[in-house]
Amino acid sequence: MADVDVIVRDPVTGLFGFRVELGRDRAGSRLQARRGGFVTERAALAEYRRLCRQRDAQRPRLRLSDTVQTLCEDWLAGRVQQLQPNTVYNYVRLLHLIYPMVGRVRASRLSGRMVERAYQQLEAAGYSRTTLRTLHLVLGKAFGEQTGRPLGACKPRESDDLRPVWTVDEARAFHEHVAADRLFPMWRLLLTTGLRRGELCGLRWCDLEPDVATLTVRRQRVVEEPTSRVREKPPKSHNGTRSLVLDPATLTVVTGTRPRGRRKAVVSGYMFTGRHGQPLRPDNVTDRFNQLAVAAGVRPLGPHQIRHLVASNLLDLGYGIAEVAERLGHDPATLMRYYSRVNAGRRRQSADDLAGLIAPDFTPTTEARSAA
């Protein structure tokens, strides 16, 4: 295969990337390097050939004499072009949590027990287990790719607490309260589709097709830390680009606010804008959502929990996993792991249905009832 054949172009972003085999580590596990985010095919090819020369010359990849912090910083520096700026910021923030505990330890002396003790200290300091599990994934990947060794630490356990989600009654109370709000069409769309806040802010009128009652999600607006600059980019994953069917009431509400004439909102093309016609910031949407929630007498949990509400209730209504995942723009496995929950009524129904399936005509005797 020619070198140029391994360079692929992302159909969504138009950027180039590749994957190269780097042999196997000491445990016999397959090693690969993935690079992406190159503006030109030539730049991607140059990096691919450099990695191939390094592999063919059998230069040692193990960097066991460096400190953990140096390894992680070098690993992240090599992926700045591949990762989104906000992802780079989050990785830096996560890794800085563990540097005070193990950052100065040489890679050759780092043990899984040291890392696990660091996780325990961070949890005692108030960091959530979700944060620690994400840190574990990033640290493990950085350490493994830089040294060829596994991290050797056990993954922090999942949280015992379920993510708080509104009940249907709370969603109805919120919907009724915001009916007179200027952004009611956006809140209605959020409650009936489970769109991410960035996707709501990125919607344009050209994405709406009233004749077939569909809305296409093509972009999102995200806040980049630490500068808090808002940038427009494609949806979170390839599943995020999707077409949603709207119910007649929601379609009427949304199309009824479509501006006419040469107003600023028409020029910008965004469906939901501020009072001066500028596109909305996602963080401002969250603040406004929570303010309205408090005024409506419901819990201010943020707009993202609506996705969990939509997923759980659609599954309870009998819709398939693939259908719900497609509506939320998620992978089915991710949907089942993070977004679904079983309510008490469904638990009772499943118990009754299973018992009826096994012994439909069974009735406990008086002796059995008294013994129980």
Residue whose structure tokens are 């379609």: 251
Provide DSSP, 82-113: TS-HHHHHHHHHHHHHHHHHHTTSBGGG--HH
| Sequence-separated (6 or more) residues with CB below 8 Å from residue 159 | 128, 129, 130
Alpha-carbon 223 to chain mean position: 14
| Prediction pTM value | 0.69
CATH superfamily of 168-339: Intergrase catalytic core (1.10.443.10)
Percent residues over pLDDT 90 in the chain: 45
Chain segment 71-124, per-residue pLDDT in tens: 999 888 888 777 877 888 899 999 999 999 999 999 989 999 999 999 999 999
Q: What is the mean pLDDT of residues 143-172?
A: 86
CA 47 to chain centre: 29
Report which of 56, 60, 88, 93 is spatially closest to residue 75, judged by C-alpha positions: 88
Which candidate, 99, 151, 157, 89, places its Cα nearest to that of 128?
Answer: 157
pLDDT (mean) for 241-266:
79
Task: Tell me the pLDDT tens digit for each residue of 7-56.
Answer: 888 888 888 888 888 777 666 777 788 888 888 888 888 888 888 877 77
Is residue 201 within 8 Å of residue 281, measured between CB atoms?
Answer: yes
Structure tokens at 112: 């899984």
Q: What is the mean pLDDT of residues 288-297?
A: 96
pLDDT, tens digit (0-9, with 9 covering 90-100), for 312-343:
888 888 888 888 888 998 888 877 777 666 56
CATH of 63-161 given 1.10.150.130, 3.30.2180.10, 1.10.10.60, 3.40.50.300:
1.10.150.130
Q: How confident is the model at residue 361 (pLDDT cuts 50, 70, 90)?
A: confident
